[in-house]
């Protein structure tokens, strides 16, 4: 299966036929692989309406024209049974889930429903009456869960991408175990309407893809606000952290060495260290962080009352037909009937305390890297101790949705036995595209195949983050780093992006008044010079208050940079420089400040 970019290019260039490609896809899906990937595969009659709606359509008119995809079987596809991994629970929905319909409207072709840990309860992929899903590289090993079949279908190249869900790691652990990118978006960014809930307040639909670029393409199509989903959230400016983190200079947290856990897997430890080194080579500055608040939050998910939410999701069914549940699944979910309301409030209070502690981290780092899972187990090892082994796999994942983070799992190499290892990048909510951009660079810095195929990583355009979250602003005076008004930017969580220079079209003045002293930048076209400045990314929802704080004769206009770009920036009215000192020849506000300091020192000494 080619990447989305390559597939769409082939369609649009006339090099690939839609019906021929889908026929080849279905041949692969129906090949009889013994890994227990699929629960339901669409037949030709069921596929035809999706193909027919694209007849006569220009491939360039649909962003996912003819792209085959798989759906985890706790997500509705109209007319196809949804089982949630439990045959007795099965129902046939009249409508597709909101996200599935978004993808179909974009031209994507659903080909089937994939296996999962029953009721999305597990990180192993073995808790299913439809069979334990085998790893794409070695079927004796687990595929990871609960979105096991979705991950393996993508890894084997049967489909271009797949939907999973992720409450406690179900969209990241299978990605790590099958050499895939696994995007766990911000809670509510993707509508969960039409999804069988596990923990409704925490559930997130996830995306499996061979590359970060493919994951972003799917995200762009599916991240539509659904007002009918009570837990949906429109994309917005992040409340924590910085305006953007996908730059050439970023700071990333790494858990303290004594808090890293590999469960005896030394190969995993070595691969994680290499991933940290690669992030540094990409421009990241590492900082060791205390991981204990995250670990405590992770323990709350299953040791606290949130398991009661799993019970509430299927209470009527589990009370009526408890024998229909997989043994270990029944044990976990029925345990949710025990917590008291008082326990739920106590856990919420503790979680809020932990959330506040972790919020402080984002003033120091832009993102955090961890292993996605410290190790991987065989299906036999999980069967011997299913609860303990599952708990091991949630060490780095269970806290994510409780603490409201965005996250993406990224391939990070292979262990000596030929099994993949992965790392996870996470940040506050609504940093999904920034994380994908960094994940793309980290993934591309390695010579890895795509999934379990022999296909090498393609040379595709890198992800360009939309700057809807921030506005680049050029500052040339008191707002520059460590100068008197820089706090006005920092208080608005603006982030320094780069040092730069203007095009040689400006005159520069030291304005009267102060403190603090301020410069005036005036565009003159001919007769100007290049002036040194800084570009900051200002959160778009705080840009207005920043502009309102600027006194006359200064204002915000368009400033042309030396490389031809134009950004918002400080400009000065021409009438405002009457009587001001022309310092154009210096070309740098800091140079003028230093010269003024020397003059004052000499005056004092004389």
- Catalytic positions: 72, 146, 170
Judge contact between 536 and 475, C-beta under 8 A: yes
The DSSP annotation for 25-39 comes to: HHHHHTS--TT--EE
Tell me, letter by letter, the H, E, C secondary structure of 186-239. Answer: CCCCCCCCCECCCCCCCCCEEEEECCHHHHHHHHHHHCCCCCCCCCCCCCCCCC
Alpha helices per DSSP H over 304-374: 307-313, 315-320, 327-334, 341-359
Long-range contacts of 298-301 (CB under 8 A, 24+ apart): 298/394, 298/395, 298/396, 298/397, 298/398, 298/399, 298/402, 299/398, 300/347, 300/350, 300/351, 300/354, 300/402, 301/168, 301/394, 301/398, 301/399, 301/402
Taking the C-alpha atoms of residue 144 and residue 152, their distance in angstroms, rounded to an integer, is 9
Beta-strand pair 68-72/109-114: parallel
Helix (H, G, I), strand (E, B) or coil at 551: coil
Judge contact between 572 and 553, C-beta under 8 A: yes
The owner of tokens 């917005």 is 236
What stretches of 244-323 adopt beta strand conformation (E)?
A: 250-255, 284-289
């Amino acid at each position: 299966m080619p990447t989305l970019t390559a597939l769409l290019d082939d369609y649009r260039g006339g090099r690939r036929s839609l019906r021929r490609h889908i026929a080849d896809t279905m041949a692969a899906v129906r090949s009889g692989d013994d890994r227990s990937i699929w629960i339901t595969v669409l037949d030709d009659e069921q596929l035809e309406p999706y193909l027919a709606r694209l007849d006569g359509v220009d491939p360039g008119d649909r962003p996912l024209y003819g792209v085959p995809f798989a759906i985890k079987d706790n997500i509705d596809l109209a007319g196809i049974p949804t089982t949630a991994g439990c045959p007795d629970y099965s129902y046939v929905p009249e409508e597709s889930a909101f996200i599935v319909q978004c993808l179909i409207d974009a031209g994507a072709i659903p080909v089937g429903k994939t296996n999962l840990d029953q009721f999305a309860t597990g990180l192993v992929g073995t808790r299913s009456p439809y069979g334990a899903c085998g790893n794409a590289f070695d079927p004796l090993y687990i595929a990871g869960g609960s979105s096991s079949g979705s991950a393996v279908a993508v890894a084997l190249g049967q489909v271009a991408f797949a939907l999973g869900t992720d409450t406690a790691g179900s969209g990241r652990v299978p990605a790590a175990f099958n050499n895939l990118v696994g995007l766990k978006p911000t809670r509510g960014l993707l509508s969960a309407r039409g999804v069988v809930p596990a923990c409704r307040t925490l559930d997130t639909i996830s995306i499996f893809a061979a590359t970060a670029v493919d994951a972003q393409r799917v995200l762009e199509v599916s991240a539509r606000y659904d007002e009918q989903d009570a837990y949906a959230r429109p994309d917005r400016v992040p409340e924590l952290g910085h305006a953007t983190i996908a730059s050439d200079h970023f700071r990333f947290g790494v858990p303290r060495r004594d808090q890293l856990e590999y469960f005896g897997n030394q190969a995993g430890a070595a691969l994680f260290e290499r991933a940290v080194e690669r992030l540094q080579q990409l421009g990241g500055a590492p900082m060791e962080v205390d991981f204990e608040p995250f670990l405590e939050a992770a323990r709350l998910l299953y040791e606290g009352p949130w398991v009661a939410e799993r019970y509430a999701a299927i209470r009527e069914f589990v009370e009526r037909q408890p024998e229909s549940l997989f043994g270990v699944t029944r044990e976990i979910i029925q345990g949710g009937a025990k917590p008291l309301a008082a326990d739920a409030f106590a856990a919420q209070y503790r979680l809020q305390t932990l959330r506040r502690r972790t919020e402080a981290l984002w003033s120091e780092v832009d993102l955090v890297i961890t292993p996605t899972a410290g190790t991987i187990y065989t299906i036999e090892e999980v069967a011997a101790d299913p609860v303990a082994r599952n708990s091991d796999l949630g060490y780095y994942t269970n806290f994510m949705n409780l603490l409201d983070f965005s996250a993406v799992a990224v391939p990070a190499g292979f262990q000596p036995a030929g099994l993949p290892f992965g790392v996870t990048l996470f940040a506050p909510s609504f940093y999904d595209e920034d994380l994908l951009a960094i994940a793309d660079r980290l993934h591309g810095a390695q010579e890895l195949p795509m999934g379990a195929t022999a296909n090498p990583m393609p040379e595709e355009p890198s992800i360009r983050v939309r700057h809807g979250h921030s506005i680049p602003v050029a500052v040339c005076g008191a707002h520059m780093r460590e100068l008197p008004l820089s706090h006005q930017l920092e208080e608005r969580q603006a982030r320094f992006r780069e040092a730069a220079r203007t095009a040689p079209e400006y005159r520069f003045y030291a304005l009267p008044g102060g403190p603090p002293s301020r410069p005036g930048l005036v565009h003159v076209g001919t007769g100007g010079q290049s002036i040194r400045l800084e570009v900051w990314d200002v959160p778009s929802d705080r840009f207005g208050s920043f502009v309102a704080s600027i006194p006359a004769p200064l204002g915000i206009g368009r400033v042309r940079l030396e490389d031809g770009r134009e950004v918002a920036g400080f400009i000065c009215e021409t009438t405002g420089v009457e009587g001001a000192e022309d310092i154009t020849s210096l070309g740098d506000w800091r140079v003028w400040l230093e010269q003024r300091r020397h003059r004052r020192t000499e005056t004092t000494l004389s």
